[in-house]
Structure 1
Amino acid sequence: MRIEQIYTGCLAQGAYYIESNGEVAIIDPLRETQQYVDKAAKENAKIKYIFETHFHADFVSGHVDLAKKTGAKIIFGPGAETEYDIHSAKDNEEFKLGNIIIKVLHTPGHTLESSTFLLIDKHGKEHAIFSGDTLFLGDVGRPDLAIKSDLTKEDLAAMLFDSLRKKIMTLPDDIIVYPAHGAGSACGKNLSKETIGVLGEQKKTNYALRADMSKDEFVKEVLTGIAPAPQYFAKNAMMNKSGYDAFETVLKKGDTPLTPEEFELVANNEDALVLDVRTEKEFVEAHIPNSIFIGINGGFAPWVGALITDLKQPIILITPKGREKETVTRLSRVGYDNTLGYLEGGIEAWKKAGKDIETINSISAQEFYGHSKNESINVLDVRKDGEYKSEYLEGDFVQHFALDFINENMHHIDKDKKYYIHCAGGYRSVIAISILKARGFDNLIDIAGGFAAIKNSGLPVTNYICPSTL
């Protein structure tokens, strides 16, 4: 028996490759599935099953493509309904894989069809659980993402309480826990940086598994502090439920080199969004007018999902050389399948063609300190709510809203005013400025190094929790 976790940092997501006696099961596969096919072929094994722990909201799974390539059966938990062929398993149904058994434990709560897959080894020992978003290390899945459910989040949280206590906590302490996500995922609020654990340790340390916790206490604690779900979550869940275009088709269309002239024509004729994924420093120094920056080296896919509201939006790319396919791939992981090509030769080719470029005025925290002493200033802090409430720049000249919700909140700032914009370290502030510039805000200044640099500049900060200034 072999178990391999295939972890993707950008999504904080774990897919699983399980092989026993020449038969393979894949759990929660990534959108690009050839890697699983190649791995099985190398081991002279056959992919027999594709298990989905639930309808994922934070990424588009590769189950549909993988089933078409291999003939493997897609297995969901009880009650799952799709527009493609699946096996909707019964609670406690068992699937033989080589010398082992994978048993379906229906664990509703995160979503109605959510299931945990229990691996029983060749000796009949309960060896591991693949817990999806039912149980994380340090947390449990948020119960507010069910698709078109008549149930409230409180109802689902109560279901999750029962699932954990009746199906998970009754298992042996030495069971290995393989969750679907780790720290950085928006599917929970308190996830560990570890990606593999042991159930006994979770019983001791995970707040949601306290033995003395009542159902009412659980519901309250699980629902407290959950940020609003990113706008793309429901759309990705529907793609996972209804199906999608083949990944290879999406990649071929997106991995198309465009000359500056072709690039400009596509931008104008297709109303395409120009997405620049280089570093924030490179974008600050030179970028195409009205382009949006979301750097590939940051939390790229989740930020795209949070900020580009239309999954069908035509997109053309400015990428670092050699990272064109990677960018198209990572966009497809969150359902952005309408990439139409990239600028061949990058920004240098654009300049050589005599096309217009723009820059961002970026200053140091020390320069900002000097400006704050000599002029009336307006500051926009685009960190997350929790970051802002823990510590922020003092003064009634500071406005705050999280970058995640810039599209909903930009009407709160004035196009006629000058704004100094900062985040924690500089990545998000440049994203914010690029979006605001594309919407007609011209007088924007980036504070390089963000709040970390501001704290060292001598300007007063406070950690008093206060309401948003909006």
Structure 2
Amino acid sequence: MLVFERVYTDGLAQLSYMVGDSKAAVAAVIDPRRDTDVYLRMARERGLRIAYVIETHIHADFVSGAQALARQTGAELIGGRSDAYEFELRQVSGGETFELGQVRLQVMHSPGHTPEHISLLLFDSQQGDQPFALFTGDTLFNLDVGRPDLLGDGSERKMAAKLFDTLMNGYLPLGERVEMYPCHGAGSACGKSIGDRQHSTLGNELLFNPALREQRSEEEFVDWLLKDMPEPPRHYARLKKTNTKRANMDGPALPPPLSPQAFQEIAGQDGVQIVDIRSILAFGGGHVPGAINIALRNEFINWAGWMLSAERPILLIGESDEDVQQAIMQLYRIGVDDVRGYLRNGMTDWQNAALPLAQIGEWTVHELNARRAEADVQVLDVRSPGEVANGRVPGARHIFVAHLAEHLDKLDRDKITVTYCGSGYRASIAASILKREGFQKVANTPGSWMAWNAAGLPVQKD
């Protein structure tokens, strides 16, 4: 009997799968995340032996758990063909198969997102001799396709052309009824704008996916795909290298709760990153001097990857121990492992110890509109270039938050700097960076562009 289980990981918007046959008591796991307990638990509960652990490609957005899971279970580790791998695995070509009782997986070489990328056709002997599903990895998503620019070597046009060939000559001939199971859902930066559905069919994508529904030549497809491609998150290049090397099998850290005095002592050491995961409003009201605010919301893992160095130690501040442990796991999934401790009882113990507090002002969009033209105010838009192209607060200057620290010389330190983004989340990151770097008069705009538009306030379009 067919076993089909999907594991969705919040924050990463990542999808992994367990497929197999319950009667034969055998299964394969496709694209496992770094914390592998979920797959081991599923196998135990269903009485399954994990025979294969399969990577569709060398991932760039999370640390793979494939090596660890293969070692834990004795499974055979499978991947596409690449000289980049620095560990042992079975490298496969198109047409090779894996038998799982009545279930069978067949490899399709599907380059485009990466050169070694493979997809997996799923067969069930009780449902005919044709594949009924396709695991697409990062090649095809709901309403989107994988980005071809993550190699960072100028090969994006070549890879986009290969993606076109995979889609048109590999996927579409399979037929519209074939179900599609990707490696990511909405929120991942592995595509431009991935849709909300975590699975689809090739027929549905033909109707609604802009990459497939319009007739384009290969050259037209390449031009369309690469136009306005957003900058990849900073940690993607690091993780792509990490996933070619022999894995660190250690589990997530269990850092100690620290007294305010111990926390302050460690925070004063060179290179320590203080990360406050509380809400933007709580952070603005009072925080440890020098902290960066990356609030523990669904966006946390992406912006932690953008803003934090994996080479430097981290101290955490949260509302609760549970929040801190969740943040540690999220960081672990992207290879940010050196968490030295967290502030015991959060800001309550800090303030009760009479230690210094820094604050950030909070302006409503109405206050921002009323004061944006004042001589001592500079309005800073920290959204991505693509967002800014659709409109900004009149007179606002633009520095993408990910590059703010390198462009502080473009700002007047004597003025009140008011940050805004799409919702206030990135604006709080930016405001905390400014405060950390010595800007004395800083304010964030909760609600930001969403609230600005809701209030019907004026928009400048360049």
TM bucket normalised to smaller:
over 0.9
Which residue pairs with 1:140 in the alignment? 145
> Given the superposition, is the C-alpha separation of residues 460 and 93 from structure 1 closer, same or farther in structure 2, using an over 3 Å criterion?
same
1:376-405: CA deviation from partner (whole Å, max 9, x where unpaired): 53110112223222222223xx10122233
Which residue pairs with 2:448 in the alignment? 450
Secondary structure at the counterpart of residue 40 of structure 2: helix
Which residue pairs with 2:85 in the alignment? 82
Give the gaps of 5 or more residues in structure 2. Answer: none
Structure 1 distance, partners of 2:93, 2:367, is 64
Structure 2 distance, partners of 1:95, 1:449, is 51
Structure 1 distance, partners of 2:455, 2:151, is 46
Partner amino acid, structure 1, of 2:381: D
Which residue pairs with 2:178 in the alignment? 175
Which residue pairs with 2:131 in the alignment? 126
Partner amino acid, structure 1, of 2:158: D
> Given the superposition, is the C-alpha separation of residues 44 and 458 from structure 1 closer, same or farther in structure 2, using an over 3 Å criterion?
closer
Partner amino acid, structure 1, of 2:257: P
Which residue pairs with 1:194 in the alignment? 197
Which residue pairs with 1:379 in the alignment? 379
Secondary structure at the counterpart of residue 144 of structure 2: coil
Partner amino acid, structure 2, of 1:126: P
Q: 2:318 aligned with 1:319, yes or no?
A: yes
TM-score when normalising by structure 2: 0.94
Which of 325-334 and 408-417 deviates more?
408-417
Deviation at 1:182, TM superposition (A): 1.7
Structure 1 distance, partners of 2:298, 2:285, is 18
1:396-451: CA deviation from partner (whole Å, max 9, x where unpaired): xx101222332343332222322121122222211111111112222212223212
Q: 2:281 aligned with 1:281, yes or no?
A: yes
Deviation at 1:102, TM superposition (A): 0.7
Q: Do the aligned residues in 2 keep the contact of 1:78 with 1:91 (CA within 8 Å)?
A: no
Secondary structure at the counterpart of residue 72 of structure 2: helix
1:29-75: CA deviation from partner (whole Å, max 9, x where unpaired): 11111111011111111111111111111111211221221111221
Percent identity of paired positions between Structure 1 and Structure 2: 34
Partner amino acid, structure 2, of 1:461: V
Secondary structure at the counterpart of residue 243 of structure 2: helix
Structure 2 distance, partners of 1:132, 1:331, is 23
Which residue pairs with 1:109 in the alignment? 112
Which residue pairs with 2:69 in the alignment? 66
Structure 1 distance, partners of 2:214, 2:365, is 49
> Given the superposition, is the C-alpha separation of residues 364 and 41 from structure 1 closer, same or farther in structure 2, using an over 3 Å criterion?
same
Secondary structure at the counterpart of residue 43 of structure 2: helix
1:192-242: CA deviation from partner (whole Å, max 9, x where unpaired): 111100111212322222473211111111111101212111101111111
Structure 1 distance, partners of 2:10, 2:314, is 23
Secondary structure at the counterpart of residue 268 of structure 2: helix
> Given the superposition, is the C-alpha separation of residues 282 and 390 from structure 1 closer, same or farther in structure 2, using an over 3 Å criterion?
same
Alpha-carbon RMSD: 1.9
Structure 1 distance, partners of 2:217, 2:388, is 32
1:178-199: CA deviation from partner (whole Å, max 9, x where unpaired): 0111222111113111110011
Which residue pairs with 1:434 in the alignment? 432
Structure 2 distance, partners of 1:31, 1:230, is 19
Which residue pairs with 1:402 in the alignment? 400
Equivalent residues in 2 for 1:149-164, closer than 5 Å: 152-164=155-167
Equivalent residues in 2 for 1:259-338, closer than 5 Å: 259-269=259-269, 271-308=271-308, 310-321=309-320, 322-338=322-338
1:318-357: CA deviation from partner (whole Å, max 9, x where unpaired): 1221222211110011121111121111111112222211
Deviation at 1:456, TM superposition (A): 5.3
Secondary structure at the counterpart of residue 251 of structure 1: coil
Deviation at 1:277, TM superposition (A): 0.5
Q: Do the aligned residues in 2 keep the contact of 1:298 with 1:427 (CA within 8 Å)?
A: no
Equivalent residues in 2 for 1:358-377, closer than 5 Å: 358-372=358-372, 375-377=375-377
TM-score when normalising by structure 1: 0.92
Deviation at 1:373, TM superposition (A): 6.3
Say how many residue pairs are matched: 456
Deviation at 1:459, TM superposition (A): 4.4
Secondary structure at the counterpart of residue 119 of structure 2: strand
Secondary structure at the counterpart of residue 274 of structure 1: strand
Structure 2 distance, partners of 1:29, 1:157, is 26
Q: Do the aligned residues in 2 keep the contact of 1:77 with 1:104 (CA within 8 Å)?
A: no
Partner amino acid, structure 2, of 1:136: F
> Given the superposition, is the C-alpha separation of residues 366 and 100 from structure 1 closer, same or farther in structure 2, using an over 3 Å criterion?
same
Q: Do the aligned residues in 1 keep the contact of 2:14 with 2:185 (CA within 8 Å)?
A: yes
> Given the superposition, is the C-alpha separation of residues 367 and 205 from structure 1 closer, same or farther in structure 2, using an over 3 Å criterion?
closer
Secondary structure at the counterpart of residue 228 of structure 1: coil
Deviation at 1:280, TM superposition (A): 0.8
Partner amino acid, structure 1, of 2:404: I
Structure 2 distance, partners of 1:182, 1:127, is 21
Secondary structure at the counterpart of residue 93 of structure 2: coil
Which residue pairs with 1:421 in the alignment? 419
Partner amino acid, structure 1, of 2:133: A
Equivalent residues in 2 for 1:87-106, closer than 5 Å: 87-106=90-109
